Amino acid sequence: RLKPFNRLQVILQHLKMSKHTDLTAEVLLEKRGGAGIITLNRPKALNALNLSMIQQIYPQIKTWEQDPETFLIIIKGTGGKAFCAGGDIRAITDAGKVGDRLAQDFFREEYILNNAIGTCKKPYVALIDGITMGGGVGLSVHGHFRVATEKTLFAMPETAIGLFPDVGGGYFLPRLSGKIGYYLALTGFRLKGRDVLKAGIATHFVESEKLPALEKDLIALKSPSTENIADLLNSYHVKSKVDEEKKFVLDEHMEKINSLFSAKSMEEIVKKLKQDGSPFAIKQLETINKMSPTSLKMTLRQLREGASMSLQDVLTMEYRLSQACMRGHDFYEGVRAVLIDKDQSPRWKPAALEEVTDEFVDDCFKPLGNNDLKL
């Protein structure tokens, strides 16, 4: 038996540890009132999503979905800068290079989580305060409610790193009005604040400083229905006056976006942009010229096909594309240029759109047999 002093030491050590692990947990899962609350807790990494976070969030959503005492799920990020700036790309890159399973598991489990959010039977409220990109979009956009604030910064910048706008991008992007989704996907254009609502990505807009009060009110709702939750969100939304008068940032360009980005091929989009020759068109050309030609072709087809698919079929398609990227060249080169060496000058292979053959693109979309994503 331990001496009393030693026992006390062990107990203190244990207390210190349990308190310590709670504070440093990468994701906090708690039940408050009628709400299950998911808090992404990697502020230094802008709450980037890694595999262990996915593996904690998924079963918890499934449990809450079955729990008669849980009426809604809230997801948010800590640190004040980001909701979630994306997936843990560095870890995936390292794994992919050496053929580690993580490059398969990460995408597989992330997409299964995206689908769980998209099919969740309980109202799901994402507080997308701050940077919301890539993987962070997947954690929010498929749920019932997305609350943007003046600090929200939304983008799907994947074509710049040799990837494609995944996490169900092929489902929600082509369903935005006109060709906004195609424009966002191909150029990585960033939407800020109220524009995230106006583009149809957020469902509500609430000032950032009002979020704690909103959360408290959501938690306090007694056995709420989806309508009750919508009413509460609406009551906050109508009181939010920040940037109310501002025009949608893409307003004056919508006509051009709708015509220029309706082309069936990337070559045609580029041709149309050149023919248009307006300052806006030239700017888009410059942006598109920096992107991975392979990613651009993959993305355009992903969105065109995804426009008429279910979320499940889209995620299955995107899993195939993710594995094509892991087998290819541009993803590793893009991550090197943008995230590792930060020289911002990726050397894409192939380097021109014309060199990316239809056969190659077809190959990226081929089923993976037993390795296909099963939802």
pLDDT digits (tens, 9 = 90+) for 57-91: 999 999 999 999 999 999 999 999 999 999 999 99
The answer to whether residue 178 is catalytic is no
Locate 63 and state its tokens.
């449990």
Catalytic residue among 88, 129, 158, 195: 158
What is residue 10's predicted lDDT score, i.e. its pLDDT?
60
Q: Can you give the residue ranges of every domain in the chain?
A: 24-371
pLDDT digit string (tens) for 244-284? 999 999 999 999 999 999 999 999 999 999 999 999 999 99
What is residue 20's predicted lDDT score, i.e. its pLDDT?
47
pLDDT digit string (tens) for 23-47? 689 999 999 999 999 999 999 999 9
Backbone angles phi and psi of 247, in degrees to 5: -75, 150
pLDDT digit string (tens) for 4-18? 556 666 655 655 554
Catalytic residue among 77, 118, 135, 138: 135
What is residue 247's predicted lDDT score, i.e. its pLDDT?
96
The answer to whether residue 94 is catalytic is no
pTM over 0.75: yes
pLDDT digit string (tens) for 311-346? 999 999 999 999 999 999 999 999 999 999 999 999
CA-nearest of 297, 311, 30, 358 to 162 is 297
User: Alpha-carbon distance 321 to 367, whole Å?
Assistant: 10
Catalytic residue among 86, 87, 168, 193: 87
Residue 267 has, within 13 A of its CA and on its CB side, a CA count of 7
Could you confirm whether domain 24-371 is CATH 3.40.50.300? no
What is residue 5's predicted lDDT score, i.e. its pLDDT?
58
Catalytic residue among 110, 166, 215, 330: 166
